[in-house]
Amino acid sequence: MDPSIRKIWDSAKRSSFLKFGFPLLILIVGGSFGLKEFRTLRYEIIDKRRKVDPETEAEHNPRRKTEKVSIESEYQKLQGQNLDDWRNIRGPRPWENSKEFQEILRQHKEEDQRRAEKVWKKPAS
């Protein structure tokens, strides 16, 4: 081997960049290209899943609504509800027993019904 090439080879063997830095750069750059391929494959699969005939989809998923929901229809639904008379009820915390919480809610509901009956009942005169 030529002495100049031998010198370059020895210095390259001792270089920490060529031992650690260069393989790391190759891993990072190669990984980004590999991830790009996986990402495009993922989106291609999702697109293929979405391309289903409406007839086939109706056969396989009969509960799915075919009617479109519009702002006007939702507004009409809200018009029939009383939005001024509501009660804020918190849900159970993860550490609370949900059955006990449901029993408390039932008790509150019964109390509200009793109160409403008292208000609507006319006193006998």
Q: Are the CB atoms for 29 and 23 separated by under 8 Å?
A: no
pLDDT of res. 1: 66
- Type of residue numbered 68: K
Provide the whole-model pTM. Answer: 0.33
Q: Mean pLDDT of all residues in the chain?
A: 81
The Cβ of residue 85 has, within 10 Å, a number of other Cβ atoms equal to: 6
* Phi-psi group of 77: left, alpha or beta (phi > 0 → left; psi -120 to 50 → alpha; rest → beta): alpha
| Tens-place pLDDT, residues 4-47 | 888 888 888 888 888 888 999 999 999 999 889 888 888 888 87
Map 43-94 to HEC letters. HHHHHHHHCCCHHHHHHHCCCCCCCCCCHHHHHHHHHCCCCCCCCCCCCCCC
pLDDT of res. 100: 83
Round to whole Å and give the CA distance between 82 and 62. 33
C-alpha distances out from residue 102 to 85, 89, 99, 111, Å? 22, 11, 5, 14
